[in-house]
Amino acid sequence: MGARDEFLLDSYSATVTQVAHTASAAVAHIKVRKPAQRGNAGGQGSGSGFLFTPDGFSLTNAHVVEGASELRAAFADGTESAARLVGMDASTDIAVLRIESNPGAFLPLGSSAALLPGQIAVAVGNPLGFDFTVTAGIVSALGRSLPSRGGRMIEDVIQTDVALNPGNSGGPLLDSAAQVIGVNTAVIPSAQGLSFAVAIDTARWVAGELMRHGTVRRGKLGVQCAAVALPRRWVRENEWPVATGLRVVEVVAGSAAARDGLRSGDILVGCDGTPLAQLSDLLKRLAGEGYGQPLLLKLLRPVAGTLMPFYLTVAPGG
């Protein structure tokens, strides 16, 4: 190994070490007690979570805390505290907890919009009960879809090769600046090197809804979308501020989208005058202040081998 290789290895090691050191105080081991039910003696479970505000709000996975009768959070400094479920959203596998007594450390939420495949990704969590374990790898792909326990597809999921195991669920996926870029949610046991995290832009929006309303209020559009690159010429000629849009992969029969004329292959580029660069942009329009309101969609539709601009008003279902 040459001097340059040793330098690069040392640089990589230093980055991962610094991220782990920065994150460790804010990462929690979430201990879950579930009540006994008919034919089930109840029991205990565990997962990971992390503080993202200085006053004790924590992100984790919905499947970690679902059905819990008691929640506790343990930290690397040895402290342990009761935790309260603020709200959970099975459709994105995101939950927010309020931890009564916490170390005060918290992790800044970054942005998943500017991620690129190949970037360093670091996970801190509690796999198989081994507290505060650090694993690292790279962002392998972006814009994946993953079925949630709620039956919906989680969109804009980050794929990594970071080693994750049961117990890592709900822990942070961090970039080289120790900013959270995702919430670790799933692995495929039969495939090595395939791990997934809910993009932090989606998790941030969901967390805001849960903290305000205790639930995520959604209008139902009835489409499955995937982020795609927009034609460069169209972006340039229209001075469009973003380079991606949302391709409609599937339109659910009988849905609001089907009723109002959306088609598979349409590329959604704007909504009510706001660009749609990623799925979380559309989700925000379907919830919050836009909940229950008609949407004016700007889209590009394939017609005779070219993409034609269209405007379409869609009234989402409740």
* Residue-wise pLDDT tens digits, 99-154: 988 778 999 999 998 899 999 999 999 876 677 899 999 999 998 888 776 666 78
Scored b (16 or more CB within 10 A) or e, 240-268 reads: beeebbbbbeebeeebbbbebebeeebbb
29 catalytic residue (yes or no): no
Q: Which of 58, 169, 195, 280 is catalytic?
A: 169
* 223-314 has CATH 2.30.42.10 classification: yes
pLDDT class of 164 with cuts at 50, 70, 90 = confident
User: Which pLDDT belongs to residue 281?
Assistant: 85
Q: What percent of the chain has pLDDT over 90?
A: 61
163 has a pLDDT exceeding 60: yes
CATH topology of 3-99 equal to that of 120-213? yes
User: Which pLDDT belongs to residue 171?
Assistant: 95
Sign of torsion, CA 114 120 125 127? positive
Express each pLDDT in 10-67 by its tens digit.
Answer: 888 999 999 999 999 999 999 999 887 665 656 788 899 999 999 999 999 999 999 8
pLDDT class of 2 with cuts at 50, 70, 90 = low
Q: Of 2.40.10.10, 2.60.40.1080, 3.40.50.300, 3.40.30.10, which CATH number belongs to 3-99?
A: 2.40.10.10
User: Which pLDDT belongs to residue 243?
Assistant: 94
Q: Where are the domains of the chain?
A: 3-99, 120-213, 223-314
Express each pLDDT in 180-237 by its tens digit.
Answer: 999 999 776 666 678 999 999 999 989 999 999 898 887 888 898 988 999 999 999 9
User: Which pLDDT belongs to residue 8?
Assistant: 60
Q: Of 1.10.510.10, 2.40.10.10, 3.40.50.150, 3.40.50.1820, which CATH number belongs to 120-213?
A: 2.40.10.10
Helices (H), 142-278: 200-213, 232-237, 256-260
Q: What percent of the chain has pLDDT over 70?
A: 90
148 catalytic residue (yes or no): no
Q: Which of 46, 63, 112, 140 is catalytic?
A: 63
Express each pLDDT in 57-71 by its tens digit.
Answer: 999 999 999 989 999
User: Which pLDDT belongs to residue 95?
Assistant: 97
**Residues belonging to the chain:** 318
pLDDT class of 290 with cuts at 50, 70, 90 = low
User: Which pLDDT belongs to residue 219?
Assistant: 80
Which residue bears the tokens 């479970």?
45
User: Which pLDDT belongs to residue 246?
Assistant: 95
Q: Which of 29, 58, 91, 93 is catalytic?
A: 93
**Which residues, 6 or more positions from 243, have their beta carbon under 8 angstroms from its beta carbon?**
229, 230, 232, 235, 277
∠ Cα 123 128 134 (to 5°): 25
169 catalytic residue (yes or no): yes
- Number of alpha helices (DSSP H) and beta strands (DSSP E) in the chain: 6, 18
On average, the pLDDT of the chain sits at 88
pLDDT class of 315 with cuts at 50, 70, 90 = confident
